[in-house]
Amino acid sequence: MARYALSNTAGSPSANTTTYKTQLDITAATGATTLRKAWVFDVMVGADGAPADNQITFKVDRQTSTGTRTSATPAPLDGGDAAALITCGVVTTIEPIVTSATQFIELSVNQRASYRWVAVPNCELVVPATNVAGLGLRSKSLAYTGTVTAAVHFFE
């Protein structure tokens, strides 16, 4: 299976607000002849603004639409692998539809820290092979209005 990296810095990262803002998403392709699953095994988040003592909440949850976002091309971790068939997005301007009660990861991080989640083998987060359904990585903060960095590694 081919492995890929996706980062919200593929575009211009979105500034935090007091409501969740999608930083990146991974979804099954619209109109693809064969929809594919993807498995997220690594999630990395942090703040890239001036150091301060603020809290940022990150979460990964299931979504049933892509919203309005800029398409992003994930980079193969092995240069010999083909391009990913799954679709990815960054710089979301209109939020997707999020499935309620599907917070797979939800954590609060101090702005001065970064965080990395790595799946236990066979416990990866699964992007279903359902048209435009997928996973979104979101952030919000009551005080920090700068941008955050977010990246995931996945295989399909």
Q: Is 110 left (phi over 0), alpha (psi -120 to 50) or beta?
A: beta
Show me where the domains of the chain are located.
3-155
Give residue 30's pLDDT.
64
pTM for the structure as a whole: 0.93
Per-residue pLDDT, 33: 63
DSSP output for 16-78: P-SS-EEEEEEEBPTT-SS---EEEEEEEEEE-SS--S-EEEEEEEEESS--EEEEE-PEESS
CA dist., res. 61 & res. 102, Å (int): 5
114-118/98-110 β-pairing: unpaired
pLDDT for 18 equals: 95
Per-residue pLDDT of the chain (156 residues; tens, 9 = 90+): 899 999 998 778 888 999 999 999 999 876 656 778 999 999 999 998 888 999 999 999 999 988 899 999 999 999 999 999 899 999 899 999 998 888 899 999 999 999 999 999 999 999 998 888 999 999 999 999 999 999 999 999
